[in-house]
Amino acid sequence: MKTKIRIIGNSCIIIIGKKILDQFHVTDEITLTVKDSKIIIEAIKSKPRKDWEEKLLKANSLQNIESLEYFDNNFDKTDWTW
């Protein structure tokens, strides 16, 4: 695909056709890197930690999450002044 560089203020833009973006499943964000004088465009697969809660629940790691609200320890009782 051949395209022109367009200038908007202090930035330059290029138009990438929808068919090309659809080929590598771009949604709303990409990463750009430069390697060997080439610009590499990569789709961002997913947001980090997106499904963590669901996965922790499946692993029973969040089974007793309510018990994490209060930790009883000697430091809080004797050494710390509230």
Does the structure show a pLDDT above 90 at 5?
A: yes
Q: Three-state SS for 25?
A: coil
pTM of this prediction exceeds 0.75 = no
Q: Which residues on adjacent β-strands are paired with residue 30?
A: 43
Predicted local distance difference test score (pLDDT) of residue 12:
93
Residue range 36-76, pLDDT digits in tens = 999 998 888 767 777 777 877 777 766 666 655 666 777 77
Is residue 74 one of the residues assigned to a domain? no
Is residue 27 one of the residues assigned to a domain? yes
Predicted local distance difference test score (pLDDT) of residue 34:
95
Instruction: Tell me which residue range forms the domain holding 22.
Output: 6-43
Distance CA 82, CA 67 (A): 22
- Number of helices (H) and strands (E) in the chain: give both, helices first: 3, 4
Predicted local distance difference test score (pLDDT) of residue 63:
63
CATH of the domain at 36: 2.10.260
Does the structure show a pLDDT above 70 at 10?
A: yes
